[in-house]
Structure 1
C-alpha cells in the first residue's frame, strides 16, 4: 500500500486532464498570498489506495512531487511580467531559423523559435539581457526593456559558424553549462538538422554523426537494431553499450527476443529504437569515463541522453509528416548457387560405377544429379560436368514498402506549454517469398509522446514527459542457423533440385501439383537443399514479438534565490515484451525436415521496470568581477527489476493448435533479478574572466551487485578548459589574427561497471532425478567482487579560423580499465564447474577524434557546408590475471574471435597452411616449402608434393574430400589453430559529407561513411559455400574446382591447377580460420536527400500553411569495397543476439562475422512535411 495525495488515483496520461487538479490547487493557494509572512505548513490530505501497476505507482509519485513543489511555491511571491517576441533570421540568407534557443541570461526562462523563426516569451518586467543560440550558428544577445503587461518586439540575426562554444550541454555536467566551460567531450546531435535525412529511428540518427560513436548495423531485416560502441569496449565481460537516458530517466537499452526465443542472430529489434524520433529535440553523448563520472557505476561505456521536444507559448501549431518509400536488397552482393551434373543419365552412371549388385540402386539414388533430368527440370540443355547456376537466394527477395505518418501539436500560455506527437511507422521489408509460407519481414510501431511544462510562478517550473510505444515485429529465421530460411537457400545445390511424389517440374526450376507454373506449389526440393529442411518448410516458421514500452518523468525546478536552483526528477521506464517462435503441426510440407515435424512453440514473456530518482541543487556565485563559481550537488538512485518467464510445447497432436500447453513435450523457464544503485555526486566549477574554467567533482556509489566485503566506490573527476580567444586584445597580433576562436581543454575521470546481480553469490541449480529432486552446484560466488574501474584522460583543442567559417576539433584520449571482470575457472574438485567472474583483467585503450567543419560559401542564393570526421582506436588486453583466453561462440569452432593477452579484444586466430621458406623469419625452425613444393602430401611419402607428384596423383579423377592441405604449427605448441589473422575492429572509422542550399529553397544533404585500417572480417558464408562437402561447394570457383577434378575428360594438368586453386578455398574443421578472413574496409554512401522548401508566402497563399517541404531521400545508396562477401557491415550477433542483457564475450567481441545474413537494403523515401 502506498499513500498518495487525494484525487490522484484517477490520474490520466492526458496533459489537459492532469493539469486541471494541479491548477485548482494553485488557484486555491493564490488566495493565501497576502498571508505569506505568517508561518504556516502545507500538509496534503491522503487516502490509501492499492498500487499494483508500475504506471499507477509512477503517476502517484509524479503527482506527489507536483503537489509538494506547488505547495512550496505558494510561499514565494511573483513580480509583474511582460512579453517579448520577435523573429530570428539568418544574417546572410534572411531565411527564418527554427529551433533557436531564446532565453533570458541568468535565468531558466527560455523558448525555441518555430519553423518561421518566431518566438514569444513571458519575462519579468524590467531591463534584461536576451540571448539566442543554436548549434551551427554563432550566439548573440540584446538588452531589452519590458514593461509589465506590455509586449516588446526584438528581432535577431544570426550568422552561421563552424564552431559553437556557446552551445549549452547538460549531460555530464549536472546542470546546463556552456560548452566553452566543459573540459571533457560532450557531443551534441541537433535532430532538427536531420529532419530531411533518410532516418527512421534513433540508431540511424546517431550513425555517422560523431567520431568515436560507432553504430554497428548487423543486417538488413526490417526493424533490425544496431549495436552502439563509444570509443571501443571498456569491459571484457560487462555490457559494452552506453547507458541511455530520456529526459533524465534511464531507459531499457537492450534488444533481442528474451532468454528463450532466438532467430539465429539477426533481425533483433532494439528497445532504443522505441524512442519516437519525431519527438526528439537533441541527443547528447558522453564519450568516456572522463565525461561520465557523475553517472557513476555502469557509465564507463559512455552515456547517451535524449532530450525530447517541448511546446512554446502561442496558439496551437500543427505539424504533419507523410512519408512512403520502398527498399531493395542489393542483388549483386549475392553469389548465385552453382553446381554440375555428375552423369548424363542412369545408363551413364551404371556404366561408370564399379559393376556390383548395388550399382543400379546407387545410381538411382543419385538420379537428381543426372543431366537429362536437370535439363527437363530447368527447361534448358545441361551437359555432364557443365557448371551452371540458379539465383536461389535473390528469388526470395521483393520490393519492400515502408511508410511513416506523424502529427504533432504544440502551443501554450505563459503558465502552461505543451507538445504532443503521434507517429505510425510501418515497414514490410524486402524479404519476400510469401507464396512459400507465412514467415515475414515486418516492423510496425505506434508511438505517442507528450510534454507538458507548467510555470506556476516565476521561480517554479514543472516539466512532465511521457512516451508510449506499441511495437510489433516479425522476422524470418536467419543468419548462422541450420533452420534459417536464408541459410538453407544459400546452401542449395541446383544439381540436387527435384520434385517429390505428388508434384511435377514446371520446366522453370519449380514444382507444382500438375507441372503448370501457375498452379499451386507441390512438394519437392527445388532449391536443392542437402540437409536440415527445404526453404518452403523453413518459411512455415513464424517469429513474432509484441512490445509495449512506457517512459514517464516529472522534473520540478525551484529557484528560491537568483543564485540557487533546486531540481528533482522522478521517472519510470516500463517494458512488456512477448516473443514467440511457432511452427504449426505438419509444417514439414515437403517431408524433408526432421525437427519436430508435428510442430512446436517457444514463448518468452519479458518484463522490465526501472525507476529513476534524482535530486540536485545548483548554486552559482560571483566572487568579484573576475571569478565565478558554480556548485552542483545531489543524489541519484535506480531500481531495476527484470522478470523473464518462458516455456515451450513440442509435438502437437493435430493441426490448429497454437498454444504451448497443447504440446506433448513441455518445458518451463523463469528468472527474475533486481538491482539497486544509489550514489551522491558533487561538482564545482570555477571560472576566471570567462575564459578559464576549472572543474573538480566526483561521485560515490553503492550497488546491490557489489560483493559483501566490497565497500562503495568513489569516482573522481577534474578538468580545465581555457579559451585564449576570449582574452581582450586577441586577434591584434599577426600570430592570432587568423584564429578567430581557440579553446584548449583537458580532463581526467573515472567510471565503472558493476557485475551481474547474482555473480557475487554462491548459487545452486535444481536437479531432477529418478530418486527425487535435488540441487547441483552452479555459481561459486565471490564476496570480494567489486566494480571494474575505467580511468580515462583526454586532451583536445577547438580552433576556428576565417571568422569561424572553418573549424577543427581534435581530441586525444587514453583509458585504462583495471580490475576488469573476467570469467575464471576454479578447480572443479570443489564441485563448481562453471566459470566465476573475478576482478583480474586489464584493458588499455587510446585513440584520436577529429572533426572538421567548413562553410566555404554562404550567400543568399547558394550556401555550402562541408564536414569530415575520423576516429582512431587502439585497444589491447594487457592482462587476464593468469586465466586462459576465451573464444567467442564457446565450443563452436567456426568463430575465431578471442579475448587473449597481448591482442585487441576480439582478435582473430586460426589455421594456416605451410608457407614458402622465403616467408619464414630468420631463426625459425618450423616446416616450410622450398621452391616447387606445395602444402600437400597426397602420395603419402612424407614429403611435400612437387608438380611431378601432383601430376602423377591427378592422372585420374579423385574425390575432393581426399585432397587435404597441410597445416603449419609456427610456435610448436601443438595447436594448429592459434595463428593471428588480425582484428575485427578497424583502426579508423568516420564520415564526411555536405549540406548545400541552392536558389534559397532547395537543400541537398549527403553523408558518406567509411572504415579502414587493419579491419578483418570473417567471411563464414563463403567459407561454408567454398568448402563444405554437403551444404557448400556451390560458388563458381568451388564448383569449377570440384567439377574439374572429378571430370574424366579433364587432363592431369587441369586437375593439378584445380588442386592449387583448392588451397585458397579449403576451410572449416580441421582448418578453422583458414580462407575465411578478408580485408573489410569500405566506403558507403550512407545518405542522400533533396528537399524543396516551398517559399513561405507561396505556401501560405496557396494552402494556408506555415511551412511546406517536399523531400526525396535515399539510404545506403552505394557501396565501394574489396570485400567479396555479402556485406562488410553484416554481423552474426545482432543487438542482443547473444542474450538480451547485452553483456558477455559474445555480445562484446563477436564482431565482423558474416554468416548467412542479409545485406543492408537500399531505401528510397518520398515525404511531405507541412504545418499550420
Structure 2
C-alpha cells in the first residue's frame, strides 16, 4: 500500500516538478531462467539502497527507481546474481543462469529462515536433485548419499533388497543412544527406525555375545522416494543443528521435495531397466581326495576311534569322487548368490500452475529382484505438492506423500543354530546334492543343521509398509514497510505408518523338525503402528537501516508428539501347513509401546553488515516426557560469525580471487536416553496359572541426563577465477558430555546392569571440499568436485571400568571403551592381556565427482575412496572351521610359510580376523545423450521437449583386499557406532541400468 501511495504522489509531482522526471522512473519486465521459464520470487534491488521488490508468480516485476543512472541487482535461489545498469524508464527482461559455484544457493540458518551460502558461518552440505538421481537411479534415498559430501560415513549394513544403510555424521556421537541423524522432510519429523521382525526366536543370534538387533531389518528413511527430492541440506554438527535441540546431536538431514512452477503444465516420464549381481563371490575351495580326507580325519591314540575316523573320512572321499566324476561339484555359493536380479523403476510427474496456485505431482513404481531367489523389493510412491497464494499477504503450501513397499529380505547374518543361509552355506560341501526331488521334497543335509536351498525356497521374511507423510505451511505477511517487515509462519506435519513383518519357518524345514531339535514350525507376525506429528509457529522480523545494516529476528514455539506401538506374536508348533499364529501349539506375545512429547522454543538474532560481517546468536529450549523431570527445560545455545573480506572496500573487484570468508561457529545439541533407560521394566510369567512378574536385570534411573554435545567449528571459504575454482575447509572439535553407558551391578542388588551418565567423548576432524571447472568451452565443459574428510575420536572420561562391547569377545576381536583411547578401538586377547589390534574409524574418506559434457553428450561418474577402518571378519572363521574357505589351502598368512590359511587362522590370535576395510569404488557412472525437440521427427517435436537416454550403473568397479564379499557390513545394524562386524551377510550388489526420460 505504501508503494502505491508513493507512486500516486510521484505521479502528481510529475506536473509540479518536471525536472525530477529526468532522474526517476519505473522499470518493469520479466524474470526467467535460461530456457525462458518464469522465475517467481526473484529479488530485485536498487544497488546501494533498501529499495526492492520481488517478481510475482509469472516472473513479472516492477520497481520504481528514484535516481538514474542506477544498477538493479537480481538474485534468486540456486542462480547466480545478475547486475544490470539502467539509465531511464524502460522494460527490462532478465534471464538468470544457474549458479556454478554454489555461493548463491540458500542454506538453513533457523527453523524458519535461510541465508545465501556466501553469508553462512556453518559448513552446511547440500545435495541437489541432479546429484541424487542424475547419474543413476538409486534403490533408496540413503543409498544415494555415498561420497557426495564431506563428513558423512555412509555404510550399508546388508545387501538385502529394501535398504539397511546407516549414516553417521562427524564421528561417534553416542555409545548406547541414537547415532543416526534426524530427518526432516518438508518440515515433517520423519521416523527412521529399524524394527526387528522376530527372527531371533529361530536364529538365537542375540543369545551369544550381544542383545543388539541382529534381525537384519531395513530402515525407514528408505521409504522416501529419491525422484521427489529437490535438494537435501545436511547439518553435520551441533553448531548448525542446535536449532533442533534435543534430537540433533547426531546431525540433521533436511529434505525439500519438488514444487510446481507457474506456467504451462510440464510432464516427465522416465523408465529405468536393468539388473543387479553380486559384487564379489569367493568361489569353491580347490578340493582333492587328500584334502577331503584330511578335512574329516581326526587322528586318535585309540585304534578303534582312529579307524572309525578313517572310515568316516574315506566315506566322504568316496562321495567327493563320485560327485566329481559324475557331474562335477556343485558351487552352492553361486547357486545362492548367482542370480541376476531384474530391476524396473518407472516415474511419471507433472507440474505447473498459474499466478495463484502451483502444483507438483508424481508417481514412482520400483520393482527389484534380489541376487537371491525369493528376495526382492517393491515400492509405490505417490506425491502431491500444492502451493497457493490466497492474497498478496497470505500463502499456503501442502506436501503429501503415500508410500507402499514390500521387502523380502531372506534369512542371513549371525545365528547360533546353523539355520541362516549364510551360516549354513559355509558348512555345506559341494559333493552333496541338496536339490529337491521330482515331488518337491528336499533331502536333509547330513553334515549340517539345514539344507540351504530348502531354507532359501521356503522361508518367508517379509516387511510391508503403508505410510502417509503430510506437511502444511502457512505464511502470513503481518506488515511490510520500506525498512521492515514481519511474517508469521505456521507449520504442521504428520508421519504415520503401519509396518507389518511376517516370518514363516515351515515345519518340514530340516532345522524345524523336532527330531533335529527344532520347534516344529514357527510363524512370527509383527505389527508396528507409528504416529509422529509436529506443530510449530514462528515470527520472523526483518529490519534494514540506511547504511545497509540488516537485522533478522525470529522466535517460535515447537511441539512434537511420538507414538509407536509394536506387537510381536510368536507361534511355534504349527498345525499341519497352517501359518496363522492361532494354529499352533504355543503362542507368545511381546508388546513395546513408546510415547513421547517434546515442547520447546527457539529465538535467534542475525545481524548482517553489508554482507561483510554476519553474526548470529540463538537459543533453543526443550522439555520432554523422556526426561526424568518432564517439566525441566534444557537449553541449547548457538553463535556464529562470518567475515567476508572480499566485500570490504580494500578488495580489488578485478582480482582473480573472488571470495575470502572466515567463519567460526559454536553450538550445543542433545541426545535423549535410550528407550526404557529412565525406569525399570519387568517381564510377566505364569506358573500353574498364577501370574507373576520378574526383573529384566536392568535397573532404570529417573535422574539420568540426556547426552549433551558441544561443538566448535572453524572454517574458510575461498573462490577464484569468477567461480571456476572454489574451496571450503572446516576444522571442528565436538565434545559429548554425560555419555550414557551400561554399568555392571553386583548380583546381590537383584540387577545385573544399569544406565549411568559416566563419561565424555571427543571428536576432532577436518573437512575439505573443492569444486572447479578445469575446462569450459562453447561445446565442452568439465566439472570436478573433490571432498576429503577425516575424524578421530577419543574417550576423554570414563567413570566405570573399561569394558568390551559391540562384538563377540576379545578372543575374536572386540570393541573396547577405555579412557584416553579411540571410541572405536578394537582389542584382542593375547594370553592374559589385551592388545589394540585395530580401529573401526577410517583414516580418511574422499569422493571424486566428475561431469563432462560435449554438446548433447554427458558423462558423469563418482569415485569413493575409504582408507583404513577395520572390520571383524567372522565369516572367515566359520568357513575355516568347516574347511570351505576358498583360500583355505593358500599359504599367505603364516610367517613361517608352512601352515595353510584355513588352518592358521582359527589357531591364531584375534588380529587375523581384524582386517583392513579400505576400498576404492566407482559408486556411480552415467553416459547420456539428449535429443531436443528440433532433433526429433515432426510428429514428436510438436509435443516432446526433449528425450534423454543412456546407460548407468553403481558399484561397477570395486578395489579392495578385504577377504569377503564387501567391506561394508554390520551384523548389528545401523543403530550403533560399532559397525564392521561381519557374520555371513547378504552380499552387496552392483547395478547395470538403461534409462530413458521424456519431457513434454
- Which residue matches 1:1033? 883
CA displacement at 1:521 relative to structure 2: 6.2
CA contact (8 A) 1:258 1:606 kept: no
Q: Which residue of 1 aligns with 2:246?
A: 297
The corresponding residue for 1:1004 is: 859
Contact kept, 8 Å, 1:641 with 1:674, in 2: the verdict is yes
SS in 2 for 1:797: strand
Query: Which of residues 382, 385, 406 is equivalent to 1:451?
Result: 385
Structure-2 change in CA distance of 1:752 and 1:99 (3 Å)? farther
- 2:303 and 2:174 map into 1 onto residues whose CA distance is 64
Contact 2:888 2:903 in 1 (8 A): no
1:725 correspondence with 2:667? no
CA distance in 2, matches of 1:1011, 1:141: 43
What is the Cα deviation at residue 879 of structure 1? 1.8
Matches within 5 A, 1:608-627: 608-627=530-549
Counterparts of 1:819 and 1:759 in 2: how far apart (Å)?
Answer: 14
Find the counterpart in structure 2 of residue 1085 from structure 1: 922
1:342 Cα deviation from its structure 2 partner:
5.8
| CA pair 141-674 structure 1, distance change in 2 beyond 3 A | farther
Deviations 1:618-656 (A, max 9, x none): 10101331421001110111110110111111111212x
Task: Indicate yes or no: 2:950 matched with 1:1116.
Answer: no
Post-superposition shift, 1:335?
A: 3.6
Deviates more, 1:1095-1104 or 1:675-684: 1095-1104
Match of 2:324 among 351, 372, 378: 378
Rg comparison, structure with higher value: 1
Alignment of 1:212 onto 2:133: no
Distance in 2, matches of 1:774 and 1:467, equals: 45
Alignment size in residue pairs: 941
CA distance in 1 between counterparts of 2:220 and 2:132 reads: 21
How many Å apart are 1:774 and its aligned residue?
A: 2.4
User: What do residues 506-526 of structure 1 show as CA deviations (whole Å, max 9, x unaligned)?
Assistant: xxxx6564xxxxx66664467
3-state SS of paired residue (1:207): coil
The residue aligned with 1:712 is 633
Cα distance in 2 for partners of 1:597, 1:258 equals: 18
1:543 aligned counterpart, secondary structure: strand
**Aligned counterparts, 1:537-936, within 5 A:** 537-562=455-480, 563-588=485-510, 594=516, 596=518, 598-655=520-577, 657-708=578-629, 711-731=632-652, 737-770=655-688, 772-778=690-696, 779-833=698-752, 835-889=753-807, 894=812, 896-912=814-830
CA offset digits 1:903-948 (Å, max 9, x no partner): 2223211134xxxxxxxxxxxxxxxxxxxxxxxxxxxxxxxxxxxx
Cα distance in 1 between the residues matched to 2:566 and 2:758? 31
Corresponding residue number in structure 2 for 1:393? 333
Change in 2 beyond 3 A, CA 1:894/1:665: farther
Query: Is 1:441–2:397 an aligned residue pair?
Result: no
TM-score, structure 1 as length reference:
0.75
* Alpha carbons 1:705, 1:758 under 8 Å: kept: no
In 2, distance between residues paired with 1:421 and 1:304? 22
Counterpart contact for 2:727–2:768, Cα < 8 Å: yes
Aligned to 1:88: 33
Q: C-alpha separation between the residues in 1 aligned to 2:379 and 2:652?
A: 54
Is the 1:556–1:567 contact (alpha carbons within 8 Å) kept by the matching residues of 2? yes
1:9-88 to 2 correspondences below 5 Å: 85=30, 87-88=32-33
Alpha-carbon distance in structure 2 between the residues aligned to 1:407 and 1:780:
53
1:722 and 1:395, CA in 2 relative to 1: closer, same or farther beyond 3 A? same
Instruction: Output the CA distance in 2 between the equivalents of 1:634 and 1:176.
Output: 15
Give how far 1:893 is off.
Answer: 6.4
Distance 1:362 1:412 in 2: 81
Alpha carbons 1:598, 1:652 under 8 Å: kept: yes
Summarize deviations over 1:363-405 as a string: whole Å, max 9, x none: 665564133x3222232699xxxxxx75321222211101111
* Aligned: 1:490 with 2:426: yes
Q: What is the distance in 1 between the residues matched to 2:33 and 2:535?
A: 37
- The equivalent of 1:947 in structure 2 is none
CA contact (8 A) 2:768 2:788 kept: yes
Output the TM-score relative to the length of structure 2: 0.87
Distance 2:91 2:260 in 1: 21
Residue 187 of structure 1, aligned match among 104, 120, 125 = 125
Pick closer, same or farther for the CA change 1:669–1:692 going to 2, 3 Å.
Answer: same
Mapped contact 2:285–2:887 kept (Cα < 8 A): no
> Do structure 1's residue 229 and structure 2's residue 171 form an aligned pair?
no
Q: Secondary structure at the match of 2:963?
A: coil
- Where do 1:472-491 residues align within 5 Å? 472-481=406-415, 482-491=418-427
Distance in 2, Cα, partners of 1:1040 & 1:853: 46
1:323 corresponds in structure 2 to 272
Contact 1:1010 1:1082 in 2 (8 A): yes
Supply the distance in 2 between the matched residues of 1:215 and 1:274 (Cα, whole angstroms): 17
**1:763-815, Cα deviation, whole Å (9 max, x unpaired):** 43334334822233345332322211111010101111122201110000001
How far apart in 2 are the matches of 1:1084 and 1:872? 18
Contact 1:169–1:284 under 8 Å retained in 2: yes
> Residue deviations 1:634-692, cap 9 Å, x none?
0111110110111111111212x111111111111112121111110111011112211
Q: Indicate how the Cα distance of structure 1 residues 906 and 491 shifts in structure 2: closer, same or farther if over 3 A, else same.
A: farther
Structure-2 separation of matches of 1:881 and 1:375 = 61
Distance 1:592 1:1005 in 2: 57
Alpha-carbon offset, residue 872 of structure 1 = 0.9
Secondary structure of 2:738's aligned partner = strand
- 1:42-83 CA-partner distances (Å, limit 9, x unpaired): xxxxxxxxxxxxxxxxxxxxxxxxxxxxxxxxxxxxxxx999
Q: Are 2:74 and 1:131 aligned?
A: yes
Is the Cα–Cα contact under 8 Å of residues 227 and 241 in structure 1 kept in the other structure? yes
* C-alpha deviation, 1:159, in angstroms: 7.0
Contact persistence 1:649–1:660 (CA under 8 A): yes
Aligned equivalents of 2:615, 2:346: Cα separation in 1: 47
Measure the CA separation in 1 of the matches of 2:615 and 2:807: 47
Structure whose residues are more often strand by fraction = 2
Q: Aligned in 2, Cα 1:193/1:666: closer, same or farther, shift over 3 Å?
A: closer
Q: For residue 1025 of structure 1, give the secondary structure of its aligned residue in structure 2.
A: helix
Q: Distance in 2 between matches of 1:281 and 1:615?
A: 24
Partner of 2:359: 418
Match of 1:308 in 2: 257
Aligned residue runs from structure 1 range 988-1137, under 5 A: 988-998=844-854, 1000-1013=855-868, 1015-1026=869-880, 1028=881, 1032-1039=882-889, 1058-1059=898-899, 1064-1067=904-907, 1073-1099=910-936, 1101-1103=938-940, 1104-1135=943-974
Task: Give the alignment partner of residue 334 of structure 1, picking from 282, 285, 290.
Answer: 282
Residues 1:255 and 1:231: Cα distance change in structure 2 (over 3 Å): same
- Output the CA distance in 2 between the equivalents of 1:622 and 1:483: 70
Distance, in Å, in 2 between the alignment partners of 1:564 and 1:259 is: 53
Report the Cα distance in structure 2 between the residues aligned to 1:746 and 1:1065, rounded to whole angstroms.
50
Which residue matches 2:993?
1165
Q: CA deviation at 1:595?
A: 5.1
Q: Say what the alpha-carbon RMSD is for the aligned residues.
A: 3.5
CA contact (8 A) 2:808 2:814 kept: no
Cα distance, 1:1154–1:512 mapped onto 2, change above 3 Å? closer
Change (3 A) 1:419 1:342: same
Q: Is the 8 A contact 1:284 1:305 kept in 2?
A: yes
Offset of residue 246 of structure 1: 0.4
Structure 2 SS opposite 1:1117:
coil
Residue 1114 and residue 1061 in structure 1: after superposition, are their counterparts in 2 closer, same or farther (change >3 A)? closer
The CA distance in 2 between the partners of 1:220 and 1:530, in whole Å, is: 25
